[in-house]
Structure 1
């Protein structure tokens, strides 16, 4: 299995247990067959803070431009912020778009 850049949301979570804003957050699947690295910033030169297993889905809080990465969904300079200080290359996330699907990170 390949390892590349992505927080995992558990299927066991329920909307009733979360605040309304968290329940409304969309999640997106990682590319099948890839373990994805979550990095501390929007580029491969940032340290890996954890690795998500194949089959994971992630929330995208916001997106920002960063290092260009080629993955199963093409080449992208977009990085997805999935939690505080945690970024995944959008090239490994099935968002259904080649562009931004979330607000830009400030």
Structure 2
């Protein structure tokens, strides 16, 4: 059994790394995902994640509604300092929040 299976169990699309103990979530297959500097499509793109990426979610914020492979969502995931991706493209296993709300 791998560390991922022992810690998070199967089926959730998430993993936990032993080195950092940070949960990461898979970006939808075949997607190059825009990373923005705020929780919405009006914010600038700061980089693009390559296909097959996994992202940590440090906190989540409400923002622009986006439709993606995992439905339509107004939730934006904070994946790094000042970097957000639409939750509609991240497999969290739920339509709701999986992390605390971001405080700005």
Aligned to 2:36: 39
Aligned length: 87
Relative contact order higher in (CA < 8 Å, ≥ 6 apart): 1
2:68 to 55, 68, 71: 71
Deviations 1:8-62 (A, max 9, x none): xxxxx861xxxxxxx2210000000000000000111110000000100000000
Matched, 1:95 2:92: yes
Which runs of at least 4 in structure 1 moved beyond 2 Å after TM superposition? Answer: none
User: Residues of 2 paired with 1:14 and 1:56: CA distance?
Assistant: 18
Aligned to 1:7: none
Unaligned runs of 5+ in 1: 1-12, 16-22
Q: CA RMSD in A?
A: 1.1
User: Residues of 2 paired with 1:27 and 1:92: CA distance?
Assistant: 13
User: Residues of 2 paired with 1:54 and 1:76: CA distance?
Assistant: 21
- Give the match's secondary structure for 2:88: helix
Alignment of 1:3-14 (within 5 A): none
User: Residues of 2 paired with 1:38 and 1:76: CA distance?
Assistant: 16
Unaligned runs of 5+ in 2: 1-16
Matched, 1:48 2:50: no
TM-score with structure 1 setting the length = 0.79
